[in-house]
Amino acid sequence: MAELAKLADDLLAQPWISVHIGDSPFLLKASFGDAAYKLMLSDLDSVWWEEMNSDGLEQRAQELNKRLKAPVSAFCRHLREAVVPLLRGGSGDPLPGFSCERAQNLISISLRTDLSGVPFYWTFHCTEAPLSMVSRHMICPLLNMMQALHRQTRDLMLLLERKDAEILDYKENGATLSRDRLETETFNAEEFKDRFLAEERRTVGILSPVSKKHKTYLQLKQKKKWPRQLLQRVQKLKNRHSIVFVLQQLREILFLPSQSRRKRKAREFLADFKNGLF
CA distance 126 to 107: 5
Q: Which amino acid is at 123?
A: T
How would residue 64 be classed by pLDDT, with cut points 50, 70 and 90?
very high
pLDDT at 148 over 70: yes
Q: Say if residue 157 is in the same domain as residue 36.
A: no
Contact 85, 30 (CB under 8 A): no
Q: Say if residue 92 is in the same domain as residue 139.
A: no
Residue ending a domain, choose from 83, 112, 129: 129
Report pTM.
0.64
How would residue 85 be classed by pLDDT, with cut points 50, 70 and 90?
confident
Q: Say if residue 191 is in the same domain as residue 117.
A: no
Contact 34, 3 (CB under 8 A): yes
Residue ending a domain, choose from 76, 103, 129: 129
What is the rounded average pLDDT of the residues 127-141? 91
Which of 39-43, 102-106, 216-220 is predicted with the least confidence, judged by mean pLDDT? Answer: 216-220
What is the rounded average pLDDT of the residues 25-50? 91
Q: Which residues contact 220 (CB under 8 A, 6 or more apart)?
A: 230, 233, 234
CA distance 141 to 155: 21
How would residue 162 be classed by pLDDT, with cut points 50, 70 and 90?
very high
Please give the pLDDT value at position 210.
Answer: 41
What is the rounded average pLDDT of the residues 170-196? 83
Q: Say if residue 139 is in the same domain as residue 207.
A: yes
pLDDT at 135 over 80: yes
Q: Say if residue 153 is in the same domain as residue 61.
A: no
Q: Say if residue 136 is in the same domain as residue 114.
A: no
Q: Say if residue 70 is in the same domain as residue 202.
A: no
pLDDT at 203 over 90: no
| Domains contained in the chain, number | 2
Q: Say if residue 194 is in the same domain as residue 67.
A: no
Instruction: Tell me the per-residue pLDDT of 2-22, one tens digit each, with 9 for 90 and over.
Output: 777 888 889 999 889 888 887
Q: Say if residue 169 is in the same domain as residue 256.
A: yes
CATH code of the domain covering residue 111? 2.170.210.10
Q: Say if residue 96 is in the same domain as residue 179.
A: no
Q: What are the phi and psi torsion angles at 16 (to 5°)?
A: -80, 130
Residue ending a domain, choose from 80, 103, 129: 129
User: CA triplet 23, 126, 82: central angle to 5 degrees?
Assistant: 65
Q: Say if residue 145 is in the same domain as residue 123.
A: no
User: CA triplet 265, 266, 270: central angle to 5 degrees?
Assistant: 120
CA distance 103 to 117: 32
Q: 150: domain range?
A: 132-274
Q: Say if residue 167 is in the same domain as residue 61.
A: no
Contact 44, 208 (CB under 8 A): yes
